[in-house]
Structure 1
């Protein structure tokens, strides 16, 4: 109970902001005092940590250690349990060498992702428990394909990062150095190079043979809500001012993670989650028995729409046909596409907007790693004037810049600065009306109106 209260306290905006300052200061101090070669090794060979995290999730080690309790489990017994659970998916999997496991888990413990309670005996800690799917090992063994169903999506996010994203990063530099050209073949993104395909990432996920990846990706997007506090999306826009039965269209909303949060906070609103047909087909079932009242009442519904095509009218349960919704919500959508594609999306939304329709883009707005004297104060820096910390909060904000490069790798896209976002909006017929920063981070809620 005390641990739960401590975690809830960390979500308090004041505590969250203070924690970010501590992380930024510690990161900056480490960069100053640590031996440069050691810092280089950690960065240049950081793929080792990614691989070990992937092993931790793929072997269901976190779930096994949870059942073992705080006393932990010896790697020899852990190896046997891993093999037993994995044989639920494949009876012919080979045993894992427990002497190798100890070295993998020790690196994770050194990075505070596990605890080594005695020599070769490991237990979960705060960080590893965050990856826990919550499923029992018996459930995973009997139905390995549904491990991520009815979970918070963090385990799925970890698995996706260790699979597609890690492979994409391995060719990022080669792609940049050749501008995507290899002989007569051009690759639009590092993803295309890594997987030798001309398809876009979402199209590739829908290919035969990628069914598990597609389902996992939907859950992993549910996990990304931890990029922001739930309170931020709830209070990042004046939802309470909207009239009863106002329709909010969640563009590219996946299985509806954000719409569910908002629908529970604002029961007077209607949310329509739009995505590609294969995603819509599995969206509601991905929630299992959760939130059935939202779906049965029609407060959250699903609609198939290609956001690169002209928008069509759609049906909202209990309201009928809608052509001009009150709000278009794009959370973590614009960063998936190069500028020219984002302009196309926004122009279609502009054509379907009514006089009072609002556009809300929820994405990172990157701050420069130096002071930007030409920007307004809230866009110029995340730290008080005169602070010795980097204006973008350095180490505390690295997740946004890591995501930025990941978007380049997967989509040849990016997170954007305010200047870049403003240019896109104007090009598509929208004008930024308001930007509200999330507490202590680069996540931002950018509201625009038609012009």
Structure 2
């Protein structure tokens, strides 16, 4: 028996429509990038507008813009009313540049031609077992970033935006102690560390990442955090700051193959104070066939950096290899989970 899901009882017609729609998925990414780049959502913040009105404001072609907006409305990004005006939805509102936790920079980063070309080369990844990014651009992703300041800025700002809505959720889910030091390993611009320190006035923190990320950190403009943090630059594949009570590794391990992950975790283990805890914040791959962002990111990691998302058992194995043991897993209201670990006896 063949399992042929469809949208109704149309049989071949439904299957054809579904596969054609999936095959043109790159158009959705391109349409999303188009409205992000012309900041259509910003112009809808005051209320609905027609495509003609938006075209005047965005210096675009009204007929073509309407077709793109109408397409995105089928995916819930906008809503078109009977009069032909377009409204913001909850999803579209997150594309505004002037709202807290805006995802505008994340969308612009994720839809950049560099990543579009990498995805187009996915077959190379599958056939030859290695990231298509490296074959296309001639060097590993992070080495390429180091040589391209503009792309590095795009990546850091995009990752910071993507993390923004998650940081408060993670900070509120894990029972951080009232006192001690939190070391955010590979913490980017420090959004998560900022959220944690705001919630626990007795904590101090260390933001640890490469120079381009920490040099544009988000901690210095917050009077509430004055004197409670420091930023250090370095390579977590070599060492991490010592003496922390909580080590956080958020959206880091999925960028690396197993041997490098064990190396990072061993460095954390060597630096941890007695009775310290380590928190891995990443997608936890579920079983079954239901959609999950982790399954999408898992394919992206294979194509870009030779990394992967992992199951609970796979995280447990990494921890054992680093002299740590998994103690519990906490689900969050966002897409990542929190994997807690401590030093193995």
TM-score by length of 1: 0.69
Secondary structure at 2:248 match in 1: strand
Cα displacement (A) at 1:358: 1.3
Q: Unpaired segments of 5 or more residues in structure 1?
A: 1-27, 84-95, 136-150, 181-188, 314-322, 370-389
Task: Tell me what 1:438 maps to.
Answer: 332
Deviation of the 1:65 alpha carbon: 2.3
Give deviations 1:182-214, integer Å, cap 9, x for gaps: xxxxxxx122234x131x323322324x32x32
Q: Which residue of 2 aligns with 1:335?
A: 254
Partner SS, residue 123 of structure 1: strand
Matched with 1:347 is 266
Larger RCO, structures 1/2 (Cα 8 Å, 6+ apart): 1
Listed as ranges, the matches of 1:21-40 within 5 Å are 35-40=14-19
Q: State the shift of 1:235 in Å.
A: 2.5
Give deviations 1:396-441, integer Å, cap 9, x for gaps: xx212111112222211111011211111111111111222225x7
How far off is 1:153 after superposition? 4.5
Task: Give CA-to-partner distance per residue, 1:43-74, whole Å, 9 cap, x none.
Answer: 2211111110000101111112224x23x13x
Aligned residue for 1:133, secondary structure, equals coil
Which of 116, 132, 139 aligns to 1:190? It is 132
2:103 aligned with 1:154: yes
Could you list the structure 1 runs, at least 4 aligned residues long, displaced by more than 4 angstroms after superposition. 28-34, 226-229
Q: Deviations over 1:57-107 (max 9, x none)?
A: 01111112224x23x13x333223213xxxxxxxxxxxx432222211111
1:107 equivalenced with 2:71 (yes/no): yes
The aligned residue for residue 49 of structure 1 is 28
Deviates more, 1:402-411 or 1:328-337: 402-411
Q: Which moved more, 1:225-234 or 1:411-420?
A: 225-234
Shift in alpha-carbon separation, 1:32–1:330, aligned structure 2, 3 A: farther
The 8 Å contact of residues 408 and 414 in structure 1, kept in 2 or not, is answered as yes
Residue 276 of structure 1 pairs with residue 216 of structure 2: no
1:122 to 86, 110, 124: 86
Mapped to 1, the partners of 2:223 and 2:35 lie a distance apart of: 33
- Kept in 2, the 8 Å contact 1:366–1:442? The answer is no
**Correspondence list, 1:37-436, <5 A:** 37-67=16-46, 69-70=47-48, 72-73=49-50, 75-83=51-59, 96-118=60-82, 121-134=85-98, 152-163=101-112, 164-180=114-130, 189-194=131-136, 196-198=137-139, 200-208=140-148, 210-211=149-150, 213-225=151-163, 228=166, 230-236=168-174, 238-240=175-177, 242=178, 244=179, 246-284=180-218, 289=221, 291-294=222-225, 297-311=226-240, 323-369=242-288, 394-395=290-291, 398-436=292-330
Do the aligned partners of 1:308 and 1:345 also contact (CA within 8 Å) in 2? yes
Query: Over the residues paired in the alignment, what is the CA RMSD in angstroms?
Result: 2.5
Cα distance change of structure 1 residues 32 and 337 upon mapping to structure 2, 3 Å threshold: farther
Distance 1:32 1:349, change over 3 A: farther
Normalising by structure 2, we get a TM-score of 0.89
How far off its partner does 1:33 sit?
Answer: 6.0
Measure the CA separation in 1 of the matches of 2:335 and 2:42. Answer: 32
Offset at residue 232 of structure 1 (A): 4.0
The question of whether the paired residues in 2 share the 8 Å contact of 1:364 and 1:416 is answered with yes
- Rounded to whole Å, the distance in 1 between the matches of 2:124 and 2:61 is 34
